[in-house]
Amino acid sequence: MLIAAIHGNSQNFKGGLFGGAVASQVYGDKLSGYDKAGFHVGGYVSNNFGSKDNGFRFEIQYITKGSRKNTNIKIGDYRFYLLRLNYIEMPFTFYMKSKMVKNLIYEAGLSYGVLVSAKEDPDGGGFYVPDYPPYRDWEFAGHAGIRYRFSEKWDFATKVSYSILKIRPYPGNQAYYFDRGQMNNVLTATLYYKFGKDE
């Protein structure tokens, strides 16, 4: 009976690939703006458990995050900063189809990421591995966004993601009320390609 139940439920699983652009910043680095461009790419498995309106999706992706500040000689601003954070990330997402707009899907969920590499260039003199204080080896974040299905195989999605726990403490573990360290703040624009038939 258990094997039959698993086999029956497996009919609802769908998979595919995705990739897209990333714009990111790091809260707490005294800079502002989504000035660090990057990308993400990966694969997913989803299951609607027989429902036509909602379901879950599990992804695994490689994603580049960080922060950037370019010099602006015209206004006399010679500051430069570049931070590159690369993660293997596993988002888990709940999605729900809109009742009002056809093919529009609302999404929200949590993700766990493992830091692959961290490189920092604070003045344009070259990269080094930051160690005071170091970045955490992992990240726990929340995300939300919308997805639009424009064909049976292709979806386009936009999403915002924000760290739930700090990715790096301030020097000396300083804390200012709820401000206890640096956080990733990420925007993504993604194309999804689905294998098989529509969900």
The full set of domain ranges for the chain reads: 18-194
Q: Return the CATH architecture of domain 18-194.
A: Beta Barrel (2.40)
Nearest-10 Cα torsion for 91, 28, 188, 45:
0
Is residue 155 within 8 Å of residue 147, measured between CB atoms?
yes
Residuewise pLDDT in 10s, the chain (199 residues): 434 444 445 557 889 999 999 999 999 888 889 999 999 999 999 998 777 789 999 999 999 999 998 887 777 777 889 999 999 999 999 999 998 999 999 999 999 999 999 999 988 888 888 877 889 999 999 999 999 999 989 999 999 999 999 999 886 566 666 667 899 999 999 999 999 765 4
Q: Please, which residues have CB within 8 angstroms of residue 145's CB and are 6 or more apart in sequence?
A: 107, 108, 157, 158, 159, 160, 188
| pTM (predicted TM-score) | 0.87
One-letter amino acid at 116 equals V
Is residue 190 within 8 Å of residue 167, measured between CB atoms?
no
